[in-house]
Amino acid sequence: MSLLRPGSHRVAALVDDAAVAEAMLAVEAAWSRTLGQRGAGRADPTPSDLLAESENAGNPVVPLVRALRATVDDPAAAALIHRGLTSQDVLDSALMLLAARVLDRVRDDLAATAGALAGHARRHRDSVMAGRTLTQHAVPITFGLKAAQWLTGVLDALDAVAATRAALPAQCGGAAGTLSLLARTVPDPFATAAVFAAELGLADPGLPWHTRRTPVTRLGDTLVTVTDALGVIAAGVALLARPEFGELEEGGPEGRGGSSTMPHKHNPVLSVLIRSAAAQAPLLAAQLHLAAAQAVDERPDGAWHSEWPALQALLLVTATAASQAAELTRDLRVHPDVMARRAHAAAADLLAERGDPQDADVDGYLGVAGALVDRALARHAATLDLRRPPMRSRTGEGADDDR
């Protein structure tokens, strides 16, 4: 959470340093359960406890393990904590746990945004407005079609989030990705690694990915897909909310969008903040790709370390933007009368391609706009059906409908 990231209070607890420490503890506990140990210690270090020692170790896992071992009286039992893992196994797995929490939240907010946009598309299926290309009048469209296009972008993002969420992997490789110590400890190190992933609710990647950073770059690309889709919506709202357009207006609580000096203003602040996220996200994802390309040896020297703050920031800005977009689209005020008035006033331009200067029927020159809206709504309905759990009868059989 930061004063310089307005809105981050909505989701900061998902990815802040306390969440990182909690996730690392969860990884160590899962490893202990996997090996049948009684526990991984009961330490609960704060980020400030780990911060100074993290510099000495190069990562926060080393002081965390030291704190865990210090809580166990039996030296032999203490030595079993973390045994077979390496620091990168713990931190990579912990960051995947954070990513899972963020993607779950983003998925829910995208679903809410999609629902709101589907409502706008349905209500305004035939609400004519001026179409614009390269900033100039083109041909008539409907606001329903514009909302349907926004909806489709959000559904694309939802598909990407679902696929990436399902594939988030645990990391289990040991000192150099050979599971060397684990192989001397258990009969089947591959089975143990798979159980470890299952304990965390993550996928089993098959092979360690210490220097093969596809899981991280795939995650980054998915997050950018989300902010791209939301950025298009925010840009459209901000443009059409200009006073010289007045076709859209942000809703929200009293006082939102006010100015420190100009009492008349009603700034589209959610759109502004979402656009800010969309402008930041690609560069943060680029850092992940840069780090991936610089990963050398069997464990990277600096490239891996440069991922952490970039990924944390990317998770934060994406989750914040998704939360803001759900509110923006829910409360969006549409002014179809203004849209229609402007479209009819610009009829000569909007119908120019017909070549008939006498024809001013903008409502009759919409092509298949309505059918396109229907297609987007059908896809949204299908997505809802996939997300809806099946109804169960008393005997546990799935029901065919909602009766």
Residues noted as catalytic = 259, 299
* C-alpha to C-alpha distance for 276 and 267, rounded to whole angstroms: 15
Closest-CA residue to 7 (of 240, 224, 272, 220): 272
* C-alpha to C-alpha distance for 151 and 113, rounded to whole angstroms: 8
* C-alpha to C-alpha distance for 182 and 85, rounded to whole angstroms: 8
Strands 136-142 and 248-249: unpaired
| Max Cα distance, the chain (Å) | 93
322 close to 113: Cβ distance less than 8 angstroms: yes
Report how far Cα 180 is from the mean position of its chain's Cα atoms: 36
137 close to 349: Cβ distance less than 8 angstroms: yes
DSSP state of 390: P
DSSP state of 98: H
Angle between helix axes 87-123 and 17-34 (nearest 10 degrees) is: 120
371 by Cβ neighbours in 10 Å (0-12 / 13-18 / 19+) ranks as: exposed
